[in-house]
Amino acid sequence: MSEALDRFVAEREQDWVLQRRAFHREPELGFTEVRTAATLAARLAELGFEVRAGEAVMRPEAMLGVPSADQIRERLAAVRAEERLRPWAQAMDAGCTGLVAELRRGAGPVTALRFDIDALPVRECAESDHRPAREGFASTRPGLMHSCGHDGHAAIGLGVAEWLAHPGSGWRGTVRLVFQPAEEGGRGAFPMAEAGVVDDADWLFAAHLGCGLATGEVAAAGVEMLWSTKLDAVFHGRAAHAAGNPQDGRNALLAGATASLNLHALPRYQGATTRFNVGRMDAGTGRNVIPDRCHLQLEVRGETEAAAAWLEDRAREILDAAARMHACGLEVEVMGRTASAPCDSAATAIVSAAATDTPGIHRVIPEYSIGGGEDAPYLMRRVQAGGGAATYFLIGSDLADCHHSVRFDFDERSIALGVRLFASIVERASAGPPTRVHRGPTPQDPDVGAA
Amino acid sequence: MSEALDRFVAEREQDWVLQRRAFHREPELGFTEVRTAATLAARLAELGFEVRAGEAVMRPEAMLGVPSADQIRERLAAVRAEERLRPWAQAMDAGCTGLVAELRRGAGPVTALRFDIDALPVRECAESDHRPAREGFASTRPGLMHSCGHDGHAAIGLGVAEWLAHPGSGWRGTVRLVFQPAEEGGRGAFPMAEAGVVDDADWLFAAHLGCGLATGEVAAAGVEMLWSTKLDAVFHGRAAHAAGNPQDGRNALLAGATASLNLHALPRYQGATTRFNVGRMDAGTGRNVIPDRCHLQLEVRGETEAAAAWLEDRAREILDAAARMHACGLEVEVMGRTASAPCDSAATAIVSAAATDTPGIHRVIPEYSIGGGEDAPYLMRRVQAGGGAATYFLIGSDLADCHHSVRFDFDERSIALGVRLFASIVERASAGPPTRVHRGPTPQDPDVGAA
Amino acid sequence: MSEALDRFVAEREQDWVLQRRAFHREPELGFTEVRTAATLAARLAELGFEVRAGEAVMRPEAMLGVPSADQIRERLAAVRAEERLRPWAQAMDAGCTGLVAELRRGAGPVTALRFDIDALPVRECAESDHRPAREGFASTRPGLMHSCGHDGHAAIGLGVAEWLAHPGSGWRGTVRLVFQPAEEGGRGAFPMAEAGVVDDADWLFAAHLGCGLATGEVAAAGVEMLWSTKLDAVFHGRAAHAAGNPQDGRNALLAGATASLNLHALPRYQGATTRFNVGRMDAGTGRNVIPDRCHLQLEVRGETEAAAAWLEDRAREILDAAARMHACGLEVEVMGRTASAPCDSAATAIVSAAATDTPGIHRVIPEYSIGGGEDAPYLMRRVQAGGGAATYFLIGSDLADCHHSVRFDFDERSIALGVRLFASIVERASAGPPTRVHRGPTPQDPDVGAA
Amino acid sequence: MSEALDRFVAEREQDWVLQRRAFHREPELGFTEVRTAATLAARLAELGFEVRAGEAVMRPEAMLGVPSADQIRERLAAVRAEERLRPWAQAMDAGCTGLVAELRRGAGPVTALRFDIDALPVRECAESDHRPAREGFASTRPGLMHSCGHDGHAAIGLGVAEWLAHPGSGWRGTVRLVFQPAEEGGRGAFPMAEAGVVDDADWLFAAHLGCGLATGEVAAAGVEMLWSTKLDAVFHGRAAHAAGNPQDGRNALLAGATASLNLHALPRYQGATTRFNVGRMDAGTGRNVIPDRCHLQLEVRGETEAAAAWLEDRAREILDAAARMHACGLEVEVMGRTASAPCDSAATAIVSAAATDTPGIHRVIPEYSIGGGEDAPYLMRRVQAGGGAATYFLIGSDLADCHHSVRFDFDERSIALGVRLFASIVERASAGPPTRVHRGPTPQDPDVGAA
C-alpha cells in the first residue's frame, strides 16, 4: 500500500488543502452546513459511495438547539443556483445536514469513520499576520469562522474517501464515512446515533486536529471528556416604570442574578469532577424599566453521567426557584449535550500501530486528556453497545492560536497526515472485527465510604 | 379638682416612684408579666376596681409569639409563695397576663385607658453612672430590662387608678383600665381587642413616655405609625460532611443568605413608605458541616395596610422560593403584628386641653411622628369601629439614653405628670361621648395614575 | 389680542400639525437632533429672532452621555445637501444641538420658554391602527421614534414663535425661546444652564404634553419630580475556558449579579422617597467561557438632592466592591442627571390665569405629581438663583398609549392649545417681573429625631 | 518478643481500658488538655521516660485558635489540688499542652510515634443504649466529649510506653512519643513541628482508630488528605433602627450573606480537588435593628498546597470586598490549618509487616482514602525534610456511630491491638533507618495544557 499511497498523497494533497480553504471561506453553523454537506455528498457520490442524507441519517426528534427556519432557508438559497448541489441540499431543509457515505468491498467488518463539519460564531481576524486573511481564504461570512479546525476534518474525510475509492487501497468489508453536523454545542452526534447509523459498526474511529499536540504527534485515546448539558433559560417578568410603580414589576434581572449566584454556588461532588458555567446573561430593556426578561446561557459538566445528571437536576431546581422568587415565568430548553465514552483497547491499538507506521508522525501518546466536551461519544457508545470497538484520537497540528480564537489556524500538513493515518487505520481494522473488547476505565460514582 | 389632686399627688408621688422602681427591678418579658400583672391586680382590687384577668380578657387563639410553657411556669413559681399575688397569677398560666380593671360612677360614657407593662431582652448597664445601678434598682434578672419605660407606664396606671378611686376625683360613668402585656413585638393588644375589652368604649387613650420629647412636652397625637408583621423563618436543610460528601447536603445557610438579599431587594412601593429588615440570622452547626438549619428573624412594615400586606406576601414568596432553591423545608411563623390607626380629633382635643391645664406641661404639640410600630392601634380601631374616639399621645420625658438602650432611663417626674394628665383627660372625657368623629387622615393606597 | 390670535391660529394650525408630522417622521436621538434644530433655527431666523446655536448656548464640558462622533456625523451628512440648513448644522458638530432664539420689544422683563426636541430609541409600531403608520407620518428611521411627544413640543415652540413675531401679539420686553436637546436621559438642560442661557431671565416656563391629563386639562405645577443619576457600569473580568481552567477566569457576570442584588438591597431612606433600578445587564460572550465583561445600566433617584447623592455614593461603593470581589476592573460613567426644583407661585399663578382664559381648556389643576424625572429643573434653578420665577406645567392631551410606548400618539389639537396657552402666558409675564417669589415646598432632608 | 508481649498485654489490657475511660470521663478541648497531658506526663516520667512539656515542645507563636486565658486557667485550677499533676500543669499555662517523652537504648535510629489527645465540643448522649452512659464513663463536662477516639489514642500511647519501658521489649536506639494537643481544628501539630520535636527522627508513625475500618483491619497508608485553612471572619457594621433611620445602618448581615454566596460560587480548580464551606453564620441582634455584626466560620480545602492557597487568597478577597460593599469593618483570623503529606513506602512496609504478624489483625489494606483533614502531615513533612520516613496509618475499630457523633463509641479491643501493632512497628523500625525513601505520589498542580 505504502508506495501507492505515497504517490496518491503527493498528487492529491494540494487539492485537499484547496478544499479545506474553500470550506474555511464559507463557514456554516451547526445544522445549517448545507453547502459543506452538499459539496461532500456530490463528491462522494462521484467517487462511487452510496450516500444517504437528511432524515434518513438523523432523527429529527433527537435534534436539540435547531436554528430558525429562516437561517436554514438562507443556506438552502445559497446553493439553489448550483445544479450539482441542489438535489443534496433539498434533503436538508429541516436542518438535517448529516451525511453517511458507504463503500463495500466484499465480506469483512464494518469500519466507521466520523468527521464533524460545522463552524463557530466567531468573527475572524482580518489582520495580515493571520494567514487566512493574508492568503485570501478568510471567512466571507461576517461573524462566522472555522476556528476549531472542522474545515480540516472535512478535508481529511474527503481525502480518505478518495483513497478508499482508489483501486490501490488495501481494505475489505464495508467502510462508512459519517459526516456529522453541529458538533459545537453537542447537538449533531446524538440524532445520528439515534438514527442507527453506526449500530452495526465493528469499528468506529473519530479524531480531532490540534488540541495542544504538535504536528507529528498522535494520541491514540482522548480521555477525561465530560458529560455535559447546555441549557438556555428565559425568565419572563413584568415591566413597570422603575420610579412610577416599581411594586408592579416582576424583576427578571434579579431572578437571573440570583439564579447565577446560586448555580455557581452548587456544591462540589465527591468522586467526580464537575463544572458549571453561566456564560451569558442578557436582561432588561431600558434603564428606567423593571426588567421583564432575562436570558441565561449555561452549561453543566460532570466526569460521570450521574454527576452531570445530578448537577443538571439541581440547576433546574435553582432556575425554577429563582423564577418563583421573583414571580416570573420560566422556560428552560436543552440546547445540546455531550457524553463520555471509554476508548477501547482494540481500537487504540490500531491507531497506535497505524501512527507508528505513518511517515511524518514521530510521537505516539497512549492517552491524552481532553478538557472540553465532545458528542462523538454518543456514536461510540452505540458501537460499543453492539459489541464493536471505538476510539477518539488526536492528530497533532501546530496551531497559530488556541481553538475558538479569532486567530485560530492549523498546520495544513496535518491534512495529508490525517489522510494517511485514517487510510492505515481502515486497512488494519478491515482485517477483522475486534475479538474481545478491553475497555479503558469508565469513571463511575464511587461507593463513598465513611469520611 | 385641682387642689385635691395637687394634695393627692404630693402625698402619693414618692410611692409611685418606688412602685416604678420595683417594677424596674424585676422586668418580665411579654406574656410572662406574672408578678407585674398580679401586683397591679391585687392593688386595683383593693382600690375597689372590678378586676378581670387571664382568658377573660385575652383571646388565646389570637396570641402570637407566646413563650414556652417553661418560661411562663418559671414566673408563676416566682410568686407562688406570695398569698396576695398567687390567686391572680393562677389565671395567667397560659401567658394571658392582661388585666382589665373597671370602676363605675353612675351613668356616663365608658372611658378606657391603656397601659403596657412588658420589658425587653436587654442586659442592663451595671456602671455607676447609670442611675438604676447607682441607686440600687437595676434589673435583678440578667439579660432582661425595662429599657422602654413600660415600668413607668405601669406606675402611672396605678397612680391614675388611685386617684380615680379617690372620692375627690370628679369623673362619672365608667372608667376601664387596660393593662396590656407584650407590646414589644406587637403581640398583646390584638388578643385583648379580640376579647372585646374595648368594644363598648366611648373613649380610648393610650400614651407613651419619652419618644424624643422632653419633660414638660406633650403631643396630642402620634402619627405615621407603620403597619408591620414580624416573621420568624426556619429553613431545614440536610447536614453533610463539607469535604466528604458535599453533594448530599442541603445548604440552609445559603437558602437564608439568598432569602436575605432578595428580601432586602424587594422594590419600593409607590405611594406608601415601606420598611424591611432581616434583623437576625443564625445558621449552621460547625465549620466543616453543610449547614442544615437557618433561623431568620424579620419584619415588614408599611404606611398602609395594603402596602404592608403586599410586602408580607412578597416576603413569603421569597422565603418559599429560597427554601425550594436549596431543597430545604421551611417553617414561617408570625411572631407579632402592629397596626396603624388615625387619632380622632375629639380625643386629641381632650388631650390638648388637659395638657394645657396641667401644671408642669409647658408645650403641647398637635401631631408627632412615631418611627416605630405600636399595637395600641388594634384597640383604637375596635373603639373607632364602635363609634368611639381614640388617640395615642406622648408624654415627654428627659431620657438618659434612647429607648431600648442598655442605659435607658427616664425622668421620674414624668410619672406624676402622667397621672395628672390622665386624671384631667378622664374628667373631660367623662363629660360625654364624642359627638361626631373627625378622623385624621388614614393613609390609603393612591390610585396611581400614569407616570 | 384674543381675536387676532383666534384668526392666527385658525390660519396656521394645519401647518403646525404638518410640521409636527415632519419631526415625527425623522426622529433624532439626544445630541444628534441636527435636522430638527437646524429646521427650527432657519425658520426662527426668518421670523426675525436672533438665533444662537452650538457651543454658544451649550457648555461642552457639562455634556454627559454624548453619542459617538460617527452618530453625530451621520446626522450632519443627512442635511449636507440642504443649503437652508447646512450653516446651522455646522455649529452642531460636537453634539451641541441646542438653540436659543431671542426677540425684543423695548423695555420689560425677560421671559424664557423651554421646549425639548429629542426622540427615543423605540421601534415604532407599523400596524394600521397606529395613526402615524396609517396616515403616513411614522418614523422613517428604524428603531427611533418620537414616543414622548417632543415632536409636539417643537411644533408648539415654532407656533409660539410665529405668534410672538406677529405684530398682533401684545407682549413687551424680551422673549427667549430655549430649544433643548437630549431631555431623555437627563442630559441637555444642564449644559445649557451652565452656558448661562437663562441666568438673566425673570420668568421661565417649561411644559410637557400628556402625562395622564386629558385634552383640555392643564396643571399649573408639576411636583414631586425626583433627583436622579443615570450610571453605566462596565466590569472587566478575564475569560477562561469554563471546563479547562475555570480558576484562571475573573467572572464579570457574577460581579454584575452580586452588584445588582446588593444595589437593590440598599436601605430605604427616612424622610425622602428613593428609587433604584438596574434596568439592563448584558454579560459574557459564550456558554462555555467565564464571562469577561458585564455591562449594567442603572439609575438612582431621590426626592431630595441629599437622598439622591447618598444613594449614588452607596451605589458606587457597591459597584466598586463587586468588582474587587471578583478581581475585575470597573468603569463607571454618568450618563445623565435630573433634578428637582420648586414651582414658584408667581409663575403658576400666571399659568393658571392663562389656562382659565384659554378657549378649549376646561380644567385647571394647581399641582400634579410627576412620576418620572426631568432636567428642566436645572434651568429653573438658575432662573430662581437669579431672583426669577419658574414653573413646569402640563398640557393635557388624550394619548393613544402611554409615553415611551411603540404605539404612543397624542391628540394634535393640543398643539394649537399649547400655542394659545404659551401666547397668553408670555403676554401676562411680560407685564412685569415677579415681585416677591413664594416658592412651593422644596423637599428637604428632615432632622430625624429619636424614633 | 511475642510471648512476653502476650503476657504483658494480658496483664495490662484492663488498666488501659480503665485509663481510656478516665480520659473519656473528663474530655478537654484543644490547648486545654491539662489533666490529660499531666496524667500522661506523670506516668511516663515514672516509667523512666525523659519528659518535656510546655513551650519546650511547642512554639507559642505558631499556635492558632488558642482558647481564652480563662478557659485554660479553669483547667489548671482543676488539677491544682493534685500534687502529682501540678508540676506538669504549671508548664502548660499558655495552652502548651503538648508532651514529648523519650527513651534511649544505645545506638540506633530515632523512632517517633504521635498520639493526639483532644476532645470535641459535642454533648454526649445520655441514653442507656449508649455504652459510656450505661457503664458510667460518660463525659462529666457538659457539652464536651471524646467523640473522635482520641481518648483511645492516648490510652494506646500509654500502653506502648509501658511496653517500651519493659525490659522484655526488643527495640534499640531512641523512641520518642509525641502527645499532641488540638488535632481538631488543625492546630496542635504545627507548633510542635515548629519546635523541632521530630526534626532528627528517622521514622514517624501516626495512627487513627476507626475511620470506617472494622476491628481487625489495618490500612498502612492514609491517602488523599486535603490541605485546609479554617478561617473566622467578623464583619463590623453599624446598628440603626430598621424603620426610623435605616440609611444610617451598615448591614453586616447582608455583607455576610453576600460573602457566603460568592465564596461558595468560587470556581472549581483544574487538576486538584477543592472544597469550600461556610459552616456557621451568626448575625444581628434584634428583629428591628440593622445588623451590626456578622460572624462567619468557614474553611477552604485543596488537594494541593497551591490549590488550597489559591482558594484561601480568593476567599480573603471576597470577604474583604463584602465588607467594603456594606461599608463594614472586617477581621479575619486563621483558626487552624491542615496539610497533606505522602506516606513513605519504607514506613508503610513496616506497618504492613507488623500488622500481618499481629494476632487479631486479619486484613491489611495498602492505601485508604481519608476524607477529612489531619495535621499530622506537618510532623510527617518535617521528618521527610530531614531524610526520614513517615506514614499515617489506620487501626480499624467497630464503631457505635460515626466520628463526631453524640453516640460515638469504639471497640475497646482496639486498644490492645493498637499497643501490639505499635510495639511491633517500633521493633522493626529500630532495626535501622530507612535506606532510600520511595514516596507515594504527592499531588501537584499539573501543567495545564490547551483544552
Q: What is the mean pLDDT of residues A378-405?
A: 94
User: What are the phi and psi torsion angles at B46 (to 5°)?
Assistant: -60, -35
User: With DSSP H G I counted as helix, E B as strand and the rest as coil, what are the percentages for chain B, rounded to 5?
Assistant: 35, 25, 40
Which residues does A151 contact at the CB level (< 8 Å), separation at least 6? A20, A21, A23, A24, A27, A119
So what's the pLDDT on residue A371?
64
Helix or strand (DSSP H, E) at C223: strand C222-223
Q: Give the pLDDT mean for A396-421.
A: 94
Q: Which of A235, A238, A241, A247 to mutate to test the interface with B (most CBs of B within 10 A)?
A: A247
| Chains in contact with chain A (at least 3 beta-carbon pairs closer than 8 A) | B, C, D
Report whether A388 contacts A429 (CB < 8 A). no
* C-beta separation of B403 from B210 below 8 A: yes
Per-residue pLDDT tens over the stretch D145-197: 999 999 999 999 999 999 999 999 989 999 999 999 999 989 999 999 999 99
Burial of A243-271, coded b for 16+ CB within 10 Å and e otherwise, reads bbbbbebbbbbbbbbbbbbbbbbbbbbbb
Q: Do C268 and D245 touch (CB under 8 A)?
A: no
Please tell me the predicted confidence (pLDDT) of residue B447: 33
What pLDDT score does A439 carry?
55
Q: Average of pLDDT values for B44-60?
A: 96
| Residue showing cell 447546555 | A230
- Give the strands of the sheet with D274-283, arranged side by side: B329-338, B227-236, B293-302, B274-283, D274-283, D293-302, D227-236, D329-338
**What proportion of chain D, given as a percentage, has pLDDT over 70?**
96
CA distance B205 to B393: 8
Quick count: other Cβ atoms within 10 Å of Cβ A167? 5
| Nearest-10 Cα torsion for B253, B254, B259, B260 | 70
pLDDT at D450: 25
Band the pLDDT of C448: cuts 50, 70, 90.
very low
Which tens digits make up the pLDDT trace of B339-375?
Answer: 999 999 999 999 999 999 999 999 999 999 876 789 9
Measured between alpha carbons, how far is A353 from A189 in angstroms, rounded to an integer? Answer: 27
Beta-sheet pairing, B274-283 with C389-395: unpaired
State the DSSP string of B125-168.
--STTSHHHHTT-S-SSTT-B--SSHHHHHHHHHHHHHHHHSTT
Write down the pLDDT at residue C436.
Answer: 54
What is the pLDDT confidence band of residue A436, given thresholds at 50, 70 and 90? low
- Percent of all residues in chain B with a pLDDT value above 70, rounded to a whole number: 96
pLDDT beyond 90 at C286: no
Helices (DSSP H) in C80-178: which residue ranges? 86-90, 131-134, 150-165
Q: Which of B128-137, B371-380, D59-68, D317-326 has the lowest mean pLDDT?
A: B371-380
Backbone angles phi, psi at D367, to 5 degrees: -135, 145
Residue A179 pLDDT > 50, yes or no?
yes
Read off the pLDDT of each residue in C228-233 and give the average, rounded to a whole number.
96
C240 interfacial to chain A (CB closer than 8 Å):
no
Q: What is the pLDDT of residue D449?
A: 27
D437-to-B6, D345, D430, D431 alpha-carbon distances in Å? 100, 7, 16, 16
Q: Cell triple for residue A261? A: 449566584
Q: What is the pLDDT of residue B436?
A: 54
Please, which pLDDT band fits residue D207 given cuts at 50, 70 and 90?
Answer: very high
- CB count, 10 Å around CB of D438? 12
Check residue D76 and give its pLDDT: 94
Q: Kindly give, in sequence order, each residue whose CB lies less than 8 Å from that of residue A176, ignoring residues fewer than 6 positions away.
A: A100, A101, A102, A110, A111, A112, A113, A197, A198, A201
Question: D18 at the A interface (CB within 8 A)?
Answer: no
CB contact under 8 A, B325 and A327: no
CA distance B379 to chain D (A): 22
Q: How many helices (H) and strands (E) does chain D have?
A: 12, 12
Among C27-31, D246-250, D312-316, name the one with the lowest average pLDDT. D246-250
Distance from D262 to chain B by nearest Cα, in Å?
Answer: 10
* Average pLDDT of every residue of chain C: 93
- Chain A residues whose beta carbon lies within 8 Å of the beta carbon of residue C185: 287
Nine-digit cell at C40?
427650527
Say yes or no: ipTM exceeds 0.90.
Answer: no
Place of cell 461510540: A380
Asked whether residue A161 carries a pLDDT value surpassing 70, the answer given is yes
DSSP string for A14-51: HHHHHHHHHHHHS---TT--HHHHHHHHHHHHHTT-EE
- pLDDT tens string A108-155: 999 999 999 999 988 899 999 999 999 999 999 998 999 999 999 999
Which subunits sit against B, judged by 3+ Cβ pairs under 8 A? A, C, D
Decide if pLDDT at D448 tops 90.
no
3-state secondary structure of D270: coil
Determine, for residues A283 and C284 on separate chains, whether the beta-carbon distance falls below 8 Å: no
- CB hemisphere CA count around D203 (13 angstroms): 30
**Could you give the CA distance from residue C324 to residue C322 in angstroms, rounded to a whole number?**
5
Which residues of chain C neighbour B212 with C-beta distances below 8 Å?
A: 449-451
Q: Is the pLDDT of residue C122 over 90?
A: no
Phi then psi dihedrals of residue C91, to 5 deg: -70, -10
Instruction: Note whether C370 contacts B265, CB cutoff 8 Å.
Output: no
Is D69 an 8 Å CB contact of chain A? no
| C289 vs A377 pLDDT, higher one | A377
pLDDT at C392 over 80: yes
Q: Is A264 helix (H, G, I), strand (E, B) or coil?
A: helix
Q: Any idea which of A61-70, B345-354, D438-447 has the lowest mean pLDDT?
A: D438-447
Q: Does A241 touch chain B (CB under 8 A)?
A: yes
CA neighbours closer than 13 Å in the CB half-sphere of residue B17: 16
**Cβ pairs B/D, distance under 8 A:** 149
Sign of the Cα torsion C405, C408, C414, C416 reads: positive
pLDDT at B449 over 50: no
Q: Position of cell 381587642? A: B193
Mean pLDDT, chain B, as a whole number?
Answer: 92
% of chain A exceeding 90 in pLDDT? 85
pLDDT on residue C447? 33
Residue C445 has pLDDT above 80, yes or no: no
CA neighbor of A38 nearest in space, from A83, A104, A6, A94: A83
Average of pLDDT values for D36-45? 97
| CA of residue B337 relative to chain centroid, distance | 11
**Average pLDDT of the residues of chain D:** 92
Note whether A450 contacts D212, CB cutoff 8 Å.
yes
Given pLDDT bands bounded at 50, 70 and 90, which one contains residue C333? very high
- Rounded to whole angstroms, the Cα distance separating C60 from C31 reads 11
pLDDT score of D132 more than 50: yes
Q: CA–CA separation, B366 vs B443, rounded Å?
A: 18
Helix (H, G, I), strand (E, B) or coil at C110: strand
Q: Do C254 and D245 touch (CB under 8 A)?
A: no
Contacts of B369 (CB under 8 A, 6+ apart): B222, B223, B224, C451
**Chain centroid offset of residue C178 CA:** 12
Question: Chains near C, with 3+ CB pairs < 8 A?
Answer: A, B, D
Would the pLDDT of A335 be above 90? yes
Percent of the residues in chain C that have a pLDDT greater than 90, as a whole number: 84
- Residue B450 has a pLDDT of 25
DSSP assignment of C275-306, as one string? EEEEEEEEE-S-TTB---EEEEEEEEEESSHH
Do the Cβ atoms of A276 and D268 come within 8 Å? Answer: yes
Q: Which of the residues D264, D276, D278, D405 would you substitute to probe the A interface, choosing the one with the greatest number of A C-beta atoms within 10 Å? A: D264
Q: Do B267 and A249 touch (CB under 8 A)?
A: yes
Share of chain D above pLDDT 90, in %: 84
